[in-house]
Amino acid sequence: QSVLTQPPSVSAAPGQKVTISCSGSSSNIGNNDVSWYQQLPGTAPTLLIYENNKRPSGIPDRFSGSKSGTSATLGITGLQTGDEADYYCGTWDSSLSAWVFGGGTKLTVL
Amino acid sequence: QVQLVESGGGVVQPGRSLRLSCEASGFTFNSYGMHWVRQAPGKGLEWVAIIWYDGSNKYYADSVKGRFTISRDNSKNTLYLQMNSLRAEDTAVYYCARGLIREIDYWGQGTLVTVSS
């Protein structure tokens, strides 16, 4: 059981938009920055979004992040088949003194 | 560019020990916190441990507390994970990753640890 809650899977057609939610509590998302990670099949995770809504260099603006209260959302527009991957949210939990991840969301581009 | 290269994985019997290493390059190692994160086969990411840039603070997941020890040698740009009393449920790909509290920004390619008799 993950501290952060994500939907197990989402799907959409190429060119469409999808959002992935990440729900937590005041000890984690509510008081700390959220990051999002993309893990393509058979590879290590890579940073997609940091500090809730910032994109590292090289990440296209099709990817966006937002945070409100104890929840965060990853948005992906103009879906491509290459976006098929597992997506994880993560943040620091001040009560646990631990980094926590969501359970991961598998994105399928139909 | 930032590079993190893990080593030391392999097959080990339950109850035995193993030490993982992560050699860092492309950045000022002693200015960054570091993490170990693992991923069991077919499962999600599980955070294992964190160490501050100077080694002054260390925190662990409850699942490994008392059995695993994170450490670093800044003179060698290397992060370590000493794993004792290994269990079958510790079987996973272990990633070292750069970061502290605000984000984890770079990940290594991982090293597979299999605990089996």
Mean pLDDT, residues B4-27 taken together: 98
Report the gap between the CA of B17 and the closest CA in chain A (Å).
24
* Cα angle, residue A96 at apex, residues A37 and A26 outer, rounded to 5°: 75
Q: Do B104 and A103 touch (CB under 8 A)?
A: no
Tokens of B89: 């449920």
DSSP state of A59: -
**Residue B70 and residue B62: Cα distance in Å, rounded?**
14
Report the gap between the CA of A1 and the closest CA in chain B (Å).
11
What's the pLDDT at B100? 87
**Residue B71 and residue B55: Cα distance in Å, rounded?**
7
Percent of chain A clearing pLDDT 90 (strictly above): 97
**Residue A79 and residue A110: Cα distance in Å, rounded?**
10
For residues B31 and B55, is the Cβ–Cβ distance under 8 A? no
Q: Do B44 and A92 touch (CB under 8 A)?
A: no
**Residue A92 and residue B62: Cα distance in Å, rounded?**
15
Residue of B nearest to A57 (CA): B105
Q: What share of chain A is helix, strand, coil (3-state, %, to 5)?
A: 5, 50, 50
What's the pLDDT at B111? 98
Report the gap between the CA of A15 and the closest CA in chain B (Å).
27
Q: Is pLDDT above 90 for A1?
A: no
Q: Which residues of B touch A (CB under 8 A)?
A: 35, 37, 44-47, 50, 59-61, 95, 101-110
Tokens of B70: 């994170």
Residues of A in contact with B37 (CB under 8 A): 99, 101
Sequence-ordered list of residues with C-beta below 8 angstroms from that of B28, at least 6 positions apart, any chain: none
Return the bridge partners of B12, or none: B115
Q: Which of A46, A103, A104 is opposite residue B107, by nearest beta carbon? A: A46
Mean pLDDT, residues B72-98 taken together: 98
Entry field: residues in chain A: 110
Q: Do A98 and B110 touch (CB under 8 A)?
A: no
Query: Strand, helix or coil at B65?
Result: coil
What's the pLDDT at A33? 97
pLDDT band at B102 (very low <50, low <70, confident <90, very high): confident
Residues of B in contact with A98 (CB under 8 A): 47, 50, 59-61
Average pLDDT, chain A: 97
B74-113 in b/e burial notation, b at 16+ Cβ within 10 A? Answer: eeebbbbbebeebeeebbbbbbbbbbbbebbbbbbebbeb
pLDDT in tens, B18-57: 999 999 999 999 999 999 999 999 999 999 999 999 999 9
pLDDT in tens, A85-110: 999 999 999 999 999 999 999 999 98
pLDDT band at A66 (very low <50, low <70, confident <90, very high): very high
Query: Quick one: which of A53, A50, A72 has its CA closest to B100?
Result: A50
Q: What share of chain B is helix, strand, coil (3-state, %, to 5)?
A: 5, 50, 45
